[in-house]
């Protein structure tokens, strides 16, 4: 079947650019598209309705109806649908990490069992999705690892609702559907069944996570049924705790009345197991427990002595940011789908801008643009310097592009590079962390070795001299220092060790490479006189508590301790007094002349002035406004984010996810689960076919059977959506 090619709307609109075929099933084809201009990846399932039997059409349309009922972080999201030339097109969220079955097969091939923490992290997401379905009276009826998808960040997405059933007043179903290996005993015996059959399938999924094989298998279907009815499965590995094995046993009870409900699983059975496994702090556990449908909103915050304004950045509405990097020239954003966007800072008055790989000299662009050159490269980290950008992939490779006049691209010369180019000297480094300053870069290798390149003035590279480094060079660190994170500022660099020790290198003319205010007479580390010269190598700064994070500016350093204490380093550094802390903080950022920080309850505080000398209001609690020219306020409460108790109960909270200081404004990254309004039925624009290598060799990724969920909605529509005209 030829791919349907929707035509452009009058006046233009969204375009779909074909990337590849990702699945073929009995009811059609699943194709991966990139939506332009936003750059997000989506799957469009193409169902040739006219070629199907009546039964097949019902199954091929059921999923739309089911997904329209559901909105959960761990359920594949339905984005829209239309019809063209007898072909039904269903648009849905793309999960780029493959299926759980593929994930477990890869682990089996390496004989690499999952840790208990990781198995529980995956299982808890599946259980949460099933609970959400049951709350909406939806039975999945075909839950299996082939129908559970993973994003690149291993967030679970339960999908394929082709044979799902919406339960009405009749609370039990009778039709036997589903994959034989996951059928419940009551289904095998032809009895009525309900939500507890999905719970049985949950048990089968948990068994596969623990044992890396199916719970029930047999050489023939009758033998398989006998084993299922008797719950005859091999014991799970004893490496897992008795509690986790007990959970499995409770799910695979032959009597459905004895099996726990999805509510009981999530509310009562899982929490003690997760607590025992220390799931929330385990680096091996999967990211996916942050609630339903998290997305990101980025604002530019400006303030004066009489107003605060928030201007949203026009990122895709459903984008969830993984990283955001900011310099005085441009910003780079990385989504959870590993799509990279870039835009120029509004206040930047430079000429042509080509700092983020848009493949041509161009005038500054103040609206986010997708960097096509990085699509499909598995980018996991981004950095922004003054006129250049740095990217790292999931394979540990580093790419740079932009202005090479300062030698910051790491290619051994001062040449510009419009298209992202590999830093060849780091090909064997397996880079796991990046820090990008205005004119230098730090990269941490998987072996713990720190590399630096770019401008060397003031010793910011920590190499023991002030010469520029055009190629990555190994940085000597104090003996015994194990790097946890790296940070780069305008004229200095910082390393935080795994023990929470802060190490600094670079310019110290302002005394910023020193202990916090109020502690200099009590602690060593602040060097007066000759000590005000540059620190050419990294040395430890002795602080009263272990450091969690640090932000660097020209005249001061802001350090956040493990207890949430914010310390300000440097002469007259804007920030709370370290000797008299009155609040705990979650994050901060250091601007040229100010510090901004947020508390755990999402209140933003500001110390200092903007770089243009303008003040930001008056001290918190003061009843009068101060005029420009008056002494800078001690601190100002800028903003507070709030969600009602009802929203919080529904999982629709919001929180500060990042602060990024610019000279005269702050970029505020907010993470929220507040749902967007339903997508209006607007037909998409043209589809551009870029060729499909998978079609040529007959290979494609498997997304399982094509779901079935849209016909009823179209049939009941008062004004039928005819799709693109």
Supply the angle between the helices 100-109 and 195-211 in degrees, to the nearest 10: 20
The structure tokens 């994070």 sit at: 549
Is residue 701 among the annotated active site residues?
no
Instruction: Tell me, rounded to whole angstroms, the distance of Cα 272 from its chain centroid.
Output: 27
Cα–Cα dist 283/498, whole Å:
14
Residue 490, CB-side half-sphere exposure with 13 Å CA sphere: 16
Cα–Cα dist 250/608, whole Å:
59
Structure tokens at 485: 């994170």
- Stated as kind and residue range, the H or E segment containing 566 is strand 566-569
Q: Is 344 exposed, middle or buried (0-12, 13-18, 19+ CB in 10 A)?
A: buried
Instruction: Name the residue among 425, 499, 401, 509 with its Cα closest to residue 460.
Output: 509
The structure tokens 């208990």 sit at: 116
Cβ contacts of 248 within 8 Å, gap of 6 or more: 203, 206, 207, 210, 236
Q: Residue 402: how many CB atoms within 10 A of its CB?
A: 26
Strand-pairing partners, residue 166, are 138
Instruction: Tell me, rounded to whole angstroms, the distance of Cα 16 from its chain centroid.
Output: 23
Instruction: Name the residue among 497, 499, 492 with its Cα closest to residue 569.
Output: 492
Q: Residue 147: how many CB atoms within 10 A of its CB?
A: 26
Cis peptide, bond prior to residue 37, ω within 30 of zero: yes
- Stated as kind and residue range, the H or E segment containing 497 is strand 492-497
Cα–Cα dist 295/73, whole Å:
10
330 phi and psi, to 5 degrees?
Answer: -160, 170
The structure tokens 């101060």 sit at: 626
Strand-pairing partners, residue 396, are none
Alpha helices by DSSP H, listed for 166-316, are 185-188, 195-211, 221-229, 242-251, 262-264, 270-276
Q: What totals of helices (H) and strands (E) does the chain contain, helices first?
A: 12, 37
Cα–Cα dist 117/125, whole Å:
13
Cα–Cα dist 591/612, whole Å:
12
Residue 501, CB-side half-sphere exposure with 13 Å CA sphere: 17
275 phi and psi, to 5 degrees?
Answer: -65, -40
Q: Is 674 exposed, middle or buried (0-12, 13-18, 19+ CB in 10 A)?
A: middle
Cα–Cα dist 244/39, whole Å:
41
Supply the angle between the helices 195-211 and 242-251 in degrees, to the nearest 10: 140
Taking a C-beta distance cutoff of 8 angstroms, is the pair 57, 64 a contact?
no
* Pair type for strands 321-326 and 308-312: unpaired
Taking a C-beta distance cutoff of 8 angstroms, is the pair 423, 472 a contact?
yes
Which among 142, 344, 386, 555 is annotated as catalytic?
Answer: 142
CA-only gyration radius of the chain, Å: 28
425 assigned binding-site residue: no
- Which residues are annotated as catalytic? 142
Binding site members for ATP: 45
């Amino acid at each position: 079947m030829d791919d349907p090619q929707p035509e452009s709307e009058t006046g233009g609109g969204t375009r779909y650019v074909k990337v590849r075929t990702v699945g073929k099933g009995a009811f059609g084809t699943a194709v991966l598209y990139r939506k332009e201009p936003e750059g997000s990846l989506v799957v469009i399932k193409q169902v040739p309705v006219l070629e199907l039997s009546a039964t097949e059409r019902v199954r091929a349309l059921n999923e739309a109806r089911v997904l329209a009922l559901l909105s959960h972080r761990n359920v594949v999201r339905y984005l829209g649908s239309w019809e063209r030339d007898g072909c039904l097109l269903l648009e849905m969220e793309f999960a780029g990490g493959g299926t759980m079955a593929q994930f477990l097969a890869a682990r089996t091939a390496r004989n690499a069992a999952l840790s208990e923490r990781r198995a529980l992290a995956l299982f808890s997401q599946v259980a949460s999705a099933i609970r959400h379905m049951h709350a909406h009276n939806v039975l999945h009826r075909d839950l299996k690892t082939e129908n559970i998808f993973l994003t690149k960040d291993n967030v679970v997405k339960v999908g394929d609702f082709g044979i799902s059933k919406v339960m009405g007043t009749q609370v039990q179903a009778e039709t036997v559907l589903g994959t034989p290996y996951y059928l419940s005993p009551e289904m095998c015996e032809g009895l009525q069944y309900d939500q507890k059959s999905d719970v049985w399938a949950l048990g089968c999924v948990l068994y596969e996570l623990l044992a890396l094989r199916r719970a029930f298998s047999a050489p023939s279907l009758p033998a398989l049924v006998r084993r299922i009815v008797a719950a005859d499965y091999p014991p799970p590995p004893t490496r897992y705790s008795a509690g986790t094995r007990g959970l499995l046993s409770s799910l695979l009870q032959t009597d459905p009345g004895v099996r726990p409900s999805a509510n009981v699983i999530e509310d009562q059975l899982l929490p003690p197991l997760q607590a025992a496994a220390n799931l929330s702090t385990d680096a091996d556990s999967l990211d996916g427990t942050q609630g339903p449908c998290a997305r990101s909103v980025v604002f530019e915050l400006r303030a004066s002595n009489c107003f605060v304004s928030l201007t949203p950045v026009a990122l895709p509405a459903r984008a969830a940011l993984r990283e955001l990097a900011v310099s005085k020239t441009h910003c780079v954003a990385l989504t959870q789908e590993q799509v990279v966007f870039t835009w120029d800072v509004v206040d930047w008055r430079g000429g042509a801008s080509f700092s983020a790989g848009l493949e041509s000299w161009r005038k500054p662009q103040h609206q986010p643009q997708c960097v096509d050159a990085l699509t499909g490269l598995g980018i996991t980290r981004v950095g922004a310097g003054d006129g250049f950008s740095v990217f790292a992939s999931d394979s540990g490779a580093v790419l740079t592009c932009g202005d090479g006049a300062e030698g910051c691209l790491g290619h051994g010369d001062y040449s510009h590079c419009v298209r992202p180019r590999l830093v060849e000297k780091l090909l064997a480094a397996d880079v796991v962390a990046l820090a990008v300053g205005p004119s230098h870069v730090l990269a941490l290798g998987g072996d713990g070795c720190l590399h630096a390149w770019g401008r060397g003035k003031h010793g910011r590279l920590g190499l023991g001299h002030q010469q520029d480094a055009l190629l990555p060079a190994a940085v000597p660190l104090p003996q015994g220092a194990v790097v946890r994170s790296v940070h780069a500022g305008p004229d200095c660099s910082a390393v935080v060790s795994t023990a929470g020790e802060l190490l600094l290198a670079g310019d110290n003319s302002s005394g910023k490479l020193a202990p916090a205010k109020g502690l200099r007479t009590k602690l060593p580390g602040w060097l007066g006189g000759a000590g005000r010269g540059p620190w050419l190598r990294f040395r430890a700064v002795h602080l009263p508590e272990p450091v969690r994070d640090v932000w660097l500016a020209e005249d001061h350093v802001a350090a956040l301790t493990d207890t949430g204490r914010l310390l300000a380093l440097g002469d007259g550094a804007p920030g709370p007094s370290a000797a008299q802390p009155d609040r705990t903080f979650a994050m901060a950022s250091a601007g040229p002349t100010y510090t901004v920080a947020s508390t755990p309850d999402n209140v933003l505080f500001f110390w200092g002035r903007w770089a243009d000398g303008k003040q930001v209001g008056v001290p918190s609690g003061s009843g009068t406004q101060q005029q420009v020219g008056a002494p800078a306020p001690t601190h100002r409460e800028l903003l507070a984010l709030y969600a009602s108790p009802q929203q919080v109960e529904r999982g629709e909270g919001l929180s500060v996810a990042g602060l990024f200081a610019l000279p005269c404004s702050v970029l505020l990254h907010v993470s929220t689960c507040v749902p967007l309004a339903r997508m209006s039925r607007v037909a998409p624009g043209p589809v551009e076919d870029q060729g499909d290598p998978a079609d040529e060799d007959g290979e494609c990724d498997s997304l399982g059977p094509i779901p079935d969920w849209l016909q009823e909605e179209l049939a009941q529509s008062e004004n039928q959506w005819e799709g693109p005209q």
